[in-house]
Structures are given as structure tokens and as C-alpha cells.
Amino acid sequence: MKLSREKQFFFFVITVLFMAGAAFLVFNDRGLIKYNRMKSQVDSLGSVIHTLENENTLLQNSIDSLKGKVPSKINRISREKYNMKGQQESVISVQEK
């Protein structure tokens, strides 16, 4: 069955319009390629946010324990960070070569 010239032209025009529309949806500045790139960035930033929230929780717990004057926590931090010593104790420093 042979199509008439008008039908062939109509089919050609519809095909070209469909292809142009598909290309526009994929490649424009709000297209599928940009959407996928942005989605991966959102996922990546979501994991960074989750990590930072966990770190903030740990730091807040540490602050709360220091404000609550938990003696063991205060002693440990004063010894480790500030090289302080308790009564009747001596500080021994070890240097690596």
C-alpha cells in the first residue's frame, strides 16, 4: 500500500516535530539530563547533611556532659588536650622518632 504525497509529508512533519520535542525535553536547561545531575547532587548533599547532623549530635552530647560537670569526662579532656595532671600525679610525655 502506497501513501499519497500529502500523507507522506504529514507523516514526515509529525516525525520531525516529535523528534524536536523529545530533544527539547532531554537537552534544554530544565531537561532530563539536568534533572538527573541535580538529583545526584541532592542525594550527595543529603548524605553530607546526615553525617554533619550525627557529628553535631555527638558534639552536643559532649558539651552537655561537660556542662553537667561529669568528673570523669572533665578529667579525661583536661589530661588529653591540656596536659594537666591531678594531685600526686606526674605527666610523662613520650616523643616518637
pLDDT tens sequence across 17-58: 999 988 887 778 887 888 888 999 999 999 999 999 999 999
pLDDT tens sequence across 47-80: 999 999 999 999 998 888 878 877 888 888 887 8
Find out whether 77 and 66 touch, Cβ atoms under 8 Å: yes
Query: Rounded to the nearest 5°, which phi and psi values hold at 83?
Result: 50, 40
CA 11 – CA 29 distance, rounded (Å): 29
